[in-house]
Chain A
Amino acid sequence: QQQVKQSPQSLIVQKGGIPIINCAYENTAFDYFPWYQQFPGKGPALLIAIRPDVSEKKEGRFTISFNKSAKQFSLHIMDSQPGDSATYFCAATFSGGYNKLIFGAGTRLAVHP
């Protein structure tokens, strides 16, 4: 019940394409869902996050869609660029508790020029 399942494991798109990464969770007590971006040899950095009281959140070219009834959320990257090539992790946590994040397994994205 503590798991967050992420798919696909890897993704290749052309520059300008819209990669979509999906995550699903079981624990309905989760109420904060961040996405992290990680470049090789670096630590994860917060990209964008959403709460279950909204269905969509946009920040620049990154959009999170959230489906509370299905317990699923997804990351869309508009007009993807080669510089977006990285590993993306979804995560879930309880906002009222301390920052114990439950991470998905990650999606390795490659954006070809």
Chain B
Amino acid sequence: NAGVMQNPRHLVRRRGQEARLRCSPMKGHSHVYWYRQLPEEGLKFMVYLQKENIIDESGMPKERFSAEFPKEGPSILRIQQVVRGDSAAYFCASSPYGTGNGNTIYFGEGSWLTVV
């Protein structure tokens, strides 16, 4: 039973390029969350999606960042025109239910973005 799969695990982009991070939730999970971890900091909530819907994007920067979770395929976190401050680990998590106790949320191993 595969866990939450994220790719790429490591990504290097030059300033101004686009970064696309992909997340395949655990089998049977239709709820996806993206969190960002800046160096030496805790994880910060970015966005919560269900299939084809963005439920809460209150943690997403207003510009350059977007997320989607299409009917078919993985969830995508897209960062346009990356800047050095976007360098971070981006974690995807999934859960089988929309409401829960936190113990139903499973994290992937993360995608480490480095902007040079």
Out of B42, B104, B105, which one reaches A89, CB within 8 Å?
Answer: B42
CB-based contact B101/A95 at 8 Å: yes
Contacts of B105 in A (CB 8 A): 46, 99, 101
Residues of B within 8 A of A61 (CB): none
**B104 contacts across to A, CB distance below 8 A:** 99
* Chain A positions within 8 Å of B114 at CB level: none
A103 to chain B, nearest CB (A): 4
> Interface readout for A30-49 with B: 1 if CB under 8 Å, 0 if not?
00101000000111111001
1/0 per residue B91-116: CB within 8 Å of A? 10101001111111101111000000
Q: Does B69 contact A (CB under 8 A)?
A: no
How many residue pairs at the A-B interface have CB separations less than 8 Å? 73
Residues of B with C-beta under 8 A to A45:
107
Taking Cβ atoms with an 8 Å cutoff, the residues of B that contact A are 4, 31, 33, 35, 40-45, 48, 55-56, 91, 93, 95, 98-105, 107-110
User: Cβ of A60 < 8 Å from any Cβ of B?
Assistant: no
Question: When chains A and B are docked, how far (Å) is the Cα of A102 from the Cα of B48?
Answer: 14
Interface size band for A: 20 to 34
Please indicate the chain A residues that have their CB under 8 angstroms from the CB of B109 in the complex.
Answer: 41-43
CB nearest to A92 among chain B residues = B102
Q: Specify which of B40, B42, B95 is in contact with A99 (CB 8 Å cutoff).
A: B95
Residue of A nearest to B41 (CB): A105
